[in-house]
Amino acid sequence: MKSKLRTSTVLICVLTTLFFGCISLSFFRDSSTSWNQNSLLGSMTSVLFLVFIFSIYRFGNIVEINLRDEILIVRKPFIFKKMIYKFSDIIGFSFSSYHARGISYRAIKIKALDNTFFISDFETKNFNDLEVILLNKFQLLDQNSKIIDNERRELEIQKREHQKQNQAKEITTLLRYAKILGGFMVLVTVWDLVNRGINTQKMIWTIFCLAFICYVYYKSRSINKNI
């Protein structure tokens, strides 16, 4: 079983990181030796750049679980690093979460003897399948990396399922706003085409709007199946 990174999510994160890096560099190049507005903006975008770099380093992990050989492999593709652990070297894992873009993302903290690794359903496509395997093969820990008893384990699993349902509802609400935005984009585009004529740029924008709406409806249907 191997975790799969969401290609679109990784691409957006990398491009956003490069964007903030280029913006901060341009602000510093345009600023003088004294502290001014460009220096301030450059510092702010530099902080964002470093935050994205740290996020990619921390969450950009690929986890592979080899049940036959009982080994767990952690790859950090962005820094070309690979770590191999025997199951006996894994203390356990704990449930975690973080909030971003109006959605609570589920995360897992895997605790080994010499390191700790994070993965989340923001960047991991088959997160649910991986979580099930971890539950079947490893101890569930609390936030202090202590093994919990069976009663609390069942309680934590129930909380996790409740969190999953709430997450689906949050995404559904966000997609509902996206539908409204998509409809507004289409109306504005149609009005512009009728009153100002058609050109290549407008046709490309129209195709983008329609593709955006189709994606939102597709995503809504897939999310509703899990609620």
Distances (CA, A) of 60 to 8, 12, 121, 133: 13, 13, 11, 20
> For 120, phi and psi rounded to 5 degrees?
-140, 165
* 133-146 pLDDT tens trace: 999 999 999 988 89
Q: How confident is the model over 175-189, as a mean pLDDT?
A: 81
Supply the pLDDT for residue 22.
67
* 192-220 pLDDT tens trace: 778 877 777 677 777 777 777 787 777 77
Supply the pLDDT for residue 192.
77
Q: How confident is the model over 174-185, as a mean pLDDT?
A: 81
> Is 49 buried (19+), middle (13-18) or exposed (0-12) by CB count in 10 A?
buried
9-16 long-range contacts, CB within 8 A, separation 24+: 9/122, 9/123, 10/60, 10/123, 13/52, 13/55, 13/56, 13/123, 14/56, 16/52
152/135 Cα distance (integer angstroms): 14
What mean pLDDT, rounded, does the chain reach?
79
Supply the pLDDT for residue 121.
86
70-76 long-range contacts, CB within 8 A, separation 24+: 72/110, 74/110, 74/117
Contact of 19 with 62, CB cutoff 8 Å: no
Supply the pLDDT for residue 86.
95
* 109-164 pLDDT tens trace: 999 999 998 888 888 888 999 999 999 999 999 988 899 999 999 999 999 999 88
Contact of 227 with 168, CB cutoff 8 Å: yes
The pTM assigned to this predicted structure is 0.67
* 65-86 pLDDT tens trace: 999 999 999 988 777 889 999 9
127/7 Cα distance (integer angstroms): 14
